[in-house]
Amino acid sequence: MGSGLREGWKVRKLGEVCDFQGGSQPPKSQFIYENKEGYVRFLQIRDFKNNKNITYIPESKKNRYCNKDDVLLGRYGASVGKILINKAGAYNVAVMKTIPNKDLLLTQYLFFYLTSSEFQTNLLNVASRSAQDGFSKKDIFNFSVLIPPLQEQKKIVAILDEAFLAIEKAKANAELNLQNAKELFESYLQGVFENRGEGWEEKSLNDVCVVQRGSSPRPIKKYITESEDGVNWIKIGDTKKVNKYIYTTNQKITKEGSEKSRYVKEGDFILSNSMSFGKPYIMKTDGYIHDGWFVLRLYEFVDTEYFFQLLSSSLVNEQFHKLASGSVVKNISGDLVKKVILPIPPLNAQKQIVKKLNTLQEQTKKLESIYTQKLSDLEELKKSLLQKAFSGELI
């Protein structure tokens, strides 16, 4: 908090100017998924993210209710500190309703305080001490909050409302530009496939590479090892934050286990056939794959970089999705994946296409970096404005 506060401004404990009310938890047997007379919307953690799967429960004196003007606060797990506003109904135990003292605290001013870094940082600190990553109202009662007179709060809210509206418009523009930059590359690639030149052919995946499915020794736990003579065991988790190349693996299996698996070498493509199915990666190390992967070994008339761009394109991805449709757990069988149709130009044309794509990709990455930084800067501006508001420096 800033020093030398204005006349009438005070630093108070949050519990002195606001109360909090936990929610209620009716049995799931009462839940329905369409609104009808005698029922009310039931607000849960998932309602912080979207308006899907809206739940309704019977009206009851046992319910805890909120109005659209109320500010709700997430109490547990990943939703700790998340804010839910403009929603009316009953709310469950994972949500807490704020009840500001209207003589001392404006609801809108409270909302901005709850979204500030000062409150959020303190909240996450106390929540992390709980086994459930949660908090009670007692945990936050002693948080310090700057309380100007109501008229000054109105001025601060007006300034923040105007500034945040402008920031949201700027963010929307930046997000649109970022999306356009990402779509520029895909649009160009689609144009290449649609405007084919002389010598292009349509071939099945089976015509351009050897397709083999991985296999897993079972039970896998028996073959996992930390020994130096273990061999790389490639899992879906190894592709986290990986766009193209796999250099390392988190686990190894014994040589005995490798005899019951599928070997892949540097330069091979691997393709996921479940979970994030259809996503290609290029090996930059040797290892072994389980049956959640295919290994693809290209014939000489197909350029590696062209093939990667082709497999990553919407043209091929849409085919993968169609092949996997209808399955409860989305996956692609080996027989089906071999039928994917690919546009293949002569090898020299493939290399020319890759050259142009690489240049365009560099340009789009620069644009993406610019707009991503813009979004980050706008978020920092919001945090800065809130910090000034609750240190007495905004007005």
User: For residue 287, what are the β-bridge partners?
Assistant: 264
Query: Residue 292's CB: how many other CB atoms inside 10 A?
Result: 19
| List of residues 6+ apart from 237 with CB closer than 8 A | 250
**What pLDDT does residue 3 have?**
55
Q: Where in the chain is the domain with CATH 3.90.220.20?
A: 10-147, 201-344
Which residue bears the tokens 């929603």?
87
Query: How does DSSP classify residue 5?
Result: P
Please state which CATH number belongs to domain 10-147.
3.90.220.20
pLDDT for the residue numbered 175 = 95
Write the class of the CATH domain 201-344.
alpha beta
Distance between CA 60 and CA 30 in Å, rounded?
11
**Prediction pTM value:** 0.71
How high is the pLDDT of residue 330? 54
Q: What is the pLDDT of residue 1?
A: 52
Domain with CATH 1.10.287 in the chain: 149-197+349-395
Q: How far is residue 377's CA from residue 65's CA, in Å, rounded to a whole number?
A: 38
Helices 117-127 and 107-115, axial angle in degrees (round to 10): 60
- Could you tell me the two tokens for 240? 């986290």
Within 10 angstroms of residue 225's Cβ, the number of other Cβ atoms is: 17
The Cα 215–Cα 361 span in angstroms is: 35
CATH of 149-197+349-395, one of 3.40.50, 1.10.3470, 1.10.287, 2.40.50: 1.10.287
Predicted pLDDT at 328: 46
Tokens coding 13: 């404990």
- Residue ranges of the chain with pLDDT lower than 50? 2, 328-329
Cα separations in angstroms, 362 against 184, 246, 353, 356:
12, 21, 14, 10
